[in-house]
Amino acid sequence: KQEVTQIPAALSVPEGENLVLNCSFTDSAIYNLQWFRQDPGKGLTSLLLIQSSQREQTSGRLNASLDKSSGRSTLYIAASQPGDSATYLCAVPNYGGSQGNLIFGKGTKLSVKP
């Protein structure tokens, strides 16, 4: 059964720092991996989708990498800002269970201090 783990569960950094969020998955037979952002009391906003054939995907100050063989993905945030404070979730499709089911990690809660 696919399991997704995100470490650390919480992270606090000063404004301007570059940071890396980690996501690991147990079954490397994935077609893609998606990163989301969730603000308190809000829904999930899609940040980046990396296909299994890709190794990196970039959007603005965000860069996500994928290493299927090691079961890992990282989300790099450059020059962090207080507005980046949110919970970041990664998710992979689960083919062993319901079709179309996304398996989510429990998230990393990021706090960027001014």
Partner 1 sequence: NAGVTQTPKFQVLKTGQSMTLQCAQDMNHNSMYWYRQDPGMGLRLIYYSASEGTTDKGEVPNGYNVSRLNKREFSLRLESAAPSQTSVYFCASSEAPVGNTEAFFGQGTRLTVV
Nearest to 89 by CA among 110, 60, 113: 110
Of residues 22 through 81, those in contact with partner 1 by CB under 8 A are 31-32, 34, 36, 41-46, 49
Is residue 95 a contact partner of residue 102, using CB atoms and an 8 Å limit? Answer: no
Q: Which residue from 108, 102, 107, 109 is spatially nearest to 34, judged by alpha carbons? A: 102
Block residue for tokens 């945030």: 77
Instruction: Give least dist CB 30 to partner 1, A.
Output: 8
From the CB of 16, what's the least distance to partner 1, in Å? 30
Nearer to partner 1, 91 or 112 (CB): 91
Interface residue list for partner 1 (CB under 8 A): 31-32, 34, 36, 41-46, 49, 89, 91, 93, 95, 97-102, 104-107
